[in-house]
Structure 1
Amino acid sequence: MRPVGSKYLLEEPLGRGATGTVWRARQRETAGAEAAVAGQPGETVAIKVLKEELANDADVVMRFLRERSVLLRLTHPNIVRTRDLVVEGDLLALVMDLIDGPDLHRYLRENGPLTPVAAALLTAQIADALAASHADGVV
């Protein structure tokens, strides 16, 4: 396990994107006053770590920090909650709630197509989250 800041330990990668990797991580100690949302020791979280080679690009870093500010404003049951920002040397990481389970692509591959009712319910939840984001000036 690799430490991130003083409060988190990376456990396993969950996914990789163009700007970084999202990890399953564990909180080592109770979050301090600088955390957006306090957690409990041992709690599992998701941490998006910016690629090291991008940490020296001022534009990328500003977008990453802006993403954190936007995500902190969004409060909706269908939007993942952002908890904390870790800045340590060249390391930048966003700490979020972990939503355990498969992504939609994997779910469909393993279970087949959604029923029309399930698809409508999922679409309504997505639309509701987008409406909340739009109302907050994000989308």
Structure 2
Amino acid sequence: MRNHHFGREHTPTPQSAAGFGEDDQPRTVWGNDVGGDGPARLVVSAGQTRLVLSGELDTSCAAELAAAVNKAVEIGQFPVQVDARRVTFMDSSALSMLAYLAHRTDSRLAMIQPPDLVRSLLEVTSIDEVVDIVEHDPRALPR
């Protein structure tokens, strides 16, 4: 399945359901591998799920973000961390997917170093009440 995003092709890279093997190394279970240009990537290792976001998150990439969020919920491995360090813009479609994810997990989302724009949106919409803002990456995974 190929999705088009700003004229570029994006091919989700499915892997095992859990996303990690016996070596417990982080695995990309949805989205582009490291260095890809997609807006969302889901990385899983034992005991951790991380949604890595980047670029402009708006309606043009809503389907890709929804697929990554739904995959995180399907995997069911919590807590979920959202790496927002490389987000440059976020509209209500992306924000609604984060709210959806926050309400589908057993524990609070951890939002890693969101830029000021994202922090403001979280505050204005009260989503900051269901996520934890994390200033330092608790466990370094590939970005």
TM-score in same-fold range (> 0.5): no
- TM-score w.r.t. the length of structure 2 is 0.30
Larger radius of gyration: 1
The structure in which a higher percent of residues are helix is 1
- TM-score w.r.t. the length of structure 1 is 0.31
